[in-house]
Amino acid sequence: MTATVIDGKAFAAKVRGQVAEHVTRIKEENGITPGLAVVLVGEDPASQVYVRSKGKMTVECGMNSFEHKLDVDTSEEDLLALLDKLNADPAVHGILVQLPLPGHLNEDLVINRIDPAKDVDGFHISNVGLLSTGQKSMVPCTPLGCLMMLRDHHGSLSGLNAVVVGRSNIVGKPMANLLLRDSCTVTIAHSRTKDIQEVCKQADIVVAAVGRAEMVTGDWIKPGATVIDVGINRIDAPEKGEGKTRLVGDCDYASCAEVAGAITPVPGGVGPMTIACLLANTLTACCRANGLSEPEGLTA
Ligand code: NDP
């Protein structure tokens, strides 16, 4: 079998188009422009690239983008004061603090200072609690993107066996909660899981969020299963020339694609969906803040 490729890049473009359409409508009908504030502390090159691309896509969707770039040695007090200001600003509907933060800043304290209604990353402890109790919340962008692709591919997920490899707070755990909410039978595997290959082999859906290049291979996958590869790993690529690198996922694409029914590639799978879902979450937060109907199909 050769797997169907789930094209995250095309799907993300569609989601961004839906967001843009909805934004145009609420601008015209309600005179409201959704706004996303992104806070970057320090000059980590990867974070700078992410922030730039988030800002660009926010504007392309017709929303306001507010970028706050702070020095690497910004004090916790100053950062918290900025968040208080953004929490109180009615033009700001979503707030994202780019992680990781420099070591002297307490990430939990900072994230939990964001108004949960504006927490478009879905990391605030209130949103974590709401999601795990099945209530309306802001949902972390990467798992939301995975869920959208799975729903689109399968229709109903009810009754399917899903294995999430990885138990991080930003991907693995919220992903498992979302799949449970869609009535999958969910197993979370991690570094201490015994016979992880056999565990994965039982799954109709495998979501790999591990951070280990090409760890999941085709012989872990049940024939016809769906593989969602969250991983982003940079490895040496001598075939492209000396010192060159390339991006790979947590799944070995070639061997998994031979067995799976469907698979997301890296790059071009989950990655683009993450930013699209950030924009969708900002729109959702804006609609909720203003008592407007939420965009259909763009929330969990
Ligand atoms: P973390 O490092 O926070 O978590 C990794 C998880 O994988 C842990 O739960 C760990 O288990 C588990 N793990 C590690 N080694 C093994 C192993 N050998 N066997 C089984 N489980 C293992 O990573 P994140 O969740 O933040 O990210 C995971 C991957 O997803 C990374 O490649 C990251 O770059 C990528 N990512 C991609 C995004 C996107 O937009 N596409 C967004 C966010 C992340 P334990 O808890 O036992 O240590």
Looking at residue 242, its amino acid is E
Q: Tell me, what's the pLDDT at 269? A: 98
Ligand 1 site, residue 272, Cβ cutoff 6 A? no
- Which candidate, 156, 153, 133, 134, places its Cα nearest to that of 145? 153
Residue-range domains of the chain with CATH: 29-120 (3.40.50.10860), 141-271 (3.40.50.720)
| Rounded percentage of the chain residues whose pLDDT exceeds 90 | 99
Bridge partner list, 38: 67, 96
209 C-alpha to ligand 1 centroid (Å): 4
**pLDDT at residue 36 greater than cutoff 80:** yes
pLDDT category, 10, cuts 50, 70, 90?
A: very high
Of all protein residues, whose CA lies closest to atom 22 belonging to ligand 1? 191
Q: Tell me, what's the pLDDT at 160? A: 98
Helices 270-289 and 8-30 sit at what angle, rounded to 10 degrees?
Answer: 20
**pLDDT at residue 187 greater than cutoff 80:** yes
210 C-alpha to ligand 1 centroid (Å): 3
Ligand 1 site, residue 212, Cβ cutoff 6 A? yes
Contact yes or no for 139/160 (Cβ under 8 A): no
In angstroms, rounded to a whole number, what is the distance separating the alpha carbons of residues 160 and 30?
41
Ligand 1 site, residue 97, Cβ cutoff 6 A? no
Phi, psi for residue 79 in degrees, rounded to 5 = -65, -45
213 C-alpha to ligand 1 centroid (Å): 10
Q: Tell me, what's the pLDDT at 125? A: 98
Tens of pLDDT, residues 115-165: 999 999 999 999 999 999 999 999 999 999 999 999 999 999 999 999 999
201 carries an active-site annotation: no
Q: Tell me, what's the pLDDT at 1? A: 67
1 C-alpha to ligand 1 centroid (Å): 28
In angstroms, rounded to a whole number, what is the distance separating the alpha carbons of residues 280 and 61?
10
**Residue 166: which residues within 8 A CB-CB, separation 6 or more?**
172, 188, 189, 190, 207, 208, 209, 210, 211, 230
Ligand 1 site, residue 271, Cβ cutoff 6 A? yes
Tens of pLDDT, residues 23-33: 999 999 999 99
